[in-house]
Amino acid sequence: MTLPPNSSPSLSGQANALLLSAADIQMTQKNFSFAKKFSLPLYFVSAADGTNVVKLFNDAIRLAVAYKESSQDFMDEVLQELENFKLEQKEEDAPDQEQSGMIKSPSPS
């Protein structure tokens, strides 16, 4: 612990730490309008002790997979069509490569 110059540790410093902990608990009771407005899940996590970190990542991955599988987003549809177009192009080019390979004259042995 680093103390400012001309200071010494005291019980008041410990009380401040307790107040900070109490303030953290009070934060878990607070409503956050952004999350509420957009119906987003809100997680209170602690990197210090790992509280809810695993749950947050598990839920985030689960929600991302569910979104990917059933997305109605316009940009997702556009990207999917572009991916399908690329696959169709590869399929169309594959027979052309086979035919061009057949037309080549055999190499002398």
- 53-68 pLDDT per residue, tens: 999 999 999 989 988 8
Residue ranges covered by each domain of the chain: 34-99
Q: Which single residue is written with the structure tokens 């540790």?
A: 9
Give the span between the Cα atoms of 27 and 23, in whole angstroms.
6
Count of residues making up the chain: 109
* Structure-block tokens of residue 103: 């037309």
The residue type found at 95 is P
Per-residue pLDDT of the chain in tens (109 residues, 90 and over written 9): 443 444 444 444 433 333 334 457 777 777 788 888 988 888 888 888 888 899 999 999 998 998 888 878 888 889 889 999 988 888 888 765 555 555 555 566 5
Q: Which two tokens stand for residue 62?
A: 């689960």
Which positions ≥6 away from 3 have C-beta within 8 Å?
Answer: 9
Two tokens, residue 51: 């509280």
Instruction: Output the pLDDT for position 48.
Output: 85
